[in-house]
Amino acid sequence: MVEWTEAERRAIESVWEKIDINVIGPQALESVLIVYPWTQRYFGVFGNLSSVSAITGNPKVAAHGKTVLKALGSGVKNLDDIKSTYAKLSELHSEKLNVDPDNFRLLADCITIVISTKLAAAFSPDVQAAWQKFLDVVVSALSREYH
Amino acid sequence: MVQWTDAERAAIADIFGKIDRDVVGPNALARCLIVYPWTRRYFGGFGNLYSADAILANPKVAAHGKVVFGGLEKAVKNLDDIKITFAPLSELHSEKLNVDPDNFRLLADCLTLVIAGQMRAAFTPEVQAAWQKFLAVVVSALCRQYY
Smallest Cβ–Cβ distance between A117 and the set B30, B117, B126 belongs to B117
Question: CA A119, CA A132: separation in Å to the nearest integer?
Answer: 15
Terminal CA-CA length for chain B? 19
Instruction: Output the pLDDT for position B68.
Output: 95
Q: Is B3 left (phi over 0), alpha (psi -120 to 50) or beta?
A: beta
| The pLDDT of residue B137 | 96
pLDDT at A147: 75
Residue partners of A3: CB distance under 8 A and separation at least 6: none
Looking at residue B98, what DSSP letter applies?
Answer: -
CA proximity to A134, closest of A65, A75, A89 = A75
Q: Provide the residue-wise pLDDT of chain A in tens; the chain has 147 residues.
A: 899 999 999 999 999 999 999 999 999 999 999 999 999 999 999 999 999 999 999 999 999 999 999 999 999 999 999 999 999 999 999 999 999 999 999 999 999 999 999 999 999 999 999 999 999 999 999 999 887
B125·A112 Cβ contact <8 A: no
ipTM of the complex as predicted? 0.89
Alpha carbon of B87: minimum distance to chain A alpha carbons (Å):
27
Residue B1 is predicted with a pLDDT of 80
Q: Is A136 on the interface with B (CB under 8 A)?
A: no
CA dist list (Å): B101 to A109, B31, B106, B129: 20, 17, 9, 22
Chain B touched by A125 (CB under 8 Å): yes
Which residues of chain B are within 8 Å of residue A18 when distances are taken between CB atoms? none
pLDDT in tens, B49-90: 999 999 999 999 999 999 999 999 999 999 999 999 999 999
How many Å lie between the alpha carbon of B48 and the closest alpha carbon of chain A?
A: 17
pLDDT in tens, B8-57: 999 999 999 999 989 999 999 999 999 999 999 999 999 999 999 999 99
